[in-house]
Amino acid sequence: HALLPVLTIALAVAGGLAAEQHDPPSDLTLFDFNSAEEASWQVVNDGVMGGRSRGFVEVSNGSLRFTGTLVTQGGGFTSVRADRAVDLSSFDGLEMRVRGGGRTFEVEVDDDTRFRGRSVSRRAPFETREEWDVVRVPFSAFRASVFGQAIDAPTIDLSNVQRIGVYILDGKDGPFRLEVDEIRAYRTDTE
């Protein structure tokens, strides 16, 4: 019976260590643009809605470059996106290192939710500068829409993220450029 207190303490310590090992990380790199797999980003232009905007994407040297021309007559957008099935339910938002010449872009997180047979887009805006900058976009800032029209949709299912994308639809005709060298999920520690 003399070993019982020692055994109890040992089990408590081991239990505490096991719990620490299962805590989610404070951040998770989703894209760092250093592998061939990350070159699978696809452009979707507003031609799907009769528009004339043109976007192009290139992934090289650890960076994604999204360039083109926005034409507001018609759809007025162009986007780039990549499939990435991931559980982000332990995180509070996305953090990106970007530069983009002062234009406003929007980041998208897609969980395959449908509304009246249409795909629901959940996006949130972020500002860019000429210099590299780190921007944080909390998941609470994302708003649901279908074909650009705001809708009342269920909260995004962060445990079922299927795609991540970036849009430009800031209402300004002309050329644009965005460079991204990292996209991460972040968690704000509340301790």
Give the tens place of pLDDT for each residue, 26-52: 899 999 999 877 779 999 999 877 899
pLDDT at 38: 76
The percent of residues in the chain predicted with pLDDT above 90, rounded, is 66
The contacts of residue 40 (CB under 8 Å, 6+ apart) are: 82, 83
3 state SS of 6: helix
- pLDDT at site 16: 46
The set of residues, in sequence order, having a beta carbon less than 8 Å from that of 186 and lying 6+ positions away, is 26, 27, 91, 92, 93, 94, 95, 136
CATH of domain 27-186: 2.60.120.430
Contacts of 118 (CB under 8 A, 6+ apart): 146, 147
Higher pLDDT, 185 or 189: 185
Asked if residue 188 has pLDDT above 60, the reply is yes
The pLDDT value given to residue 13: 45
Cα angle for residues 108, 112, 118 (degrees, 5° grid): 95
160-174: average pLDDT: 96
Q: What rounded mean pLDDT belongs to the chain?
A: 87
Q: What is the CA radius of gyration of the chain?
A: 21
Burial call 7-44: b when 16+ CB within 10 Å, e when fewer? eeeeeeeeeeeeeeeeeeeeebebbbbeeeebeebeee
Angstrom distance (rounded) from CA 80 to CA 85: 16
Give me the count of residues in the chain.
191
The full set of domain ranges for the chain reads: 27-186
The DSSP element (H or E) to which 126 belongs, if any, is: strand 121-127
How confident is the model over 110-125, as pLDDT tens digits?
998 888 888 898 999 9
What per-residue confidence (pLDDT) applies to 191? 54
Q: Which amino acid is present at 99? A: R
Quick: pLDDT tens for 55-106.
999 998 899 999 999 999 988 999 999 999 999 999 999 999 999 999 999 9
**pLDDT reported for residue 149:** 84
Least confident of 31-35, 78-82, 132-136, 162-166: 31-35
Residue 7 confidence (pLDDT) = 41
Confidence of residue 22 (pLDDT cuts 50, 70, 90): low
Q: What is the pTM of this model?
A: 0.83
Give the list of residues 6+ apart from residue 9 with CB closer than 8 angstroms, or none.
Answer: none
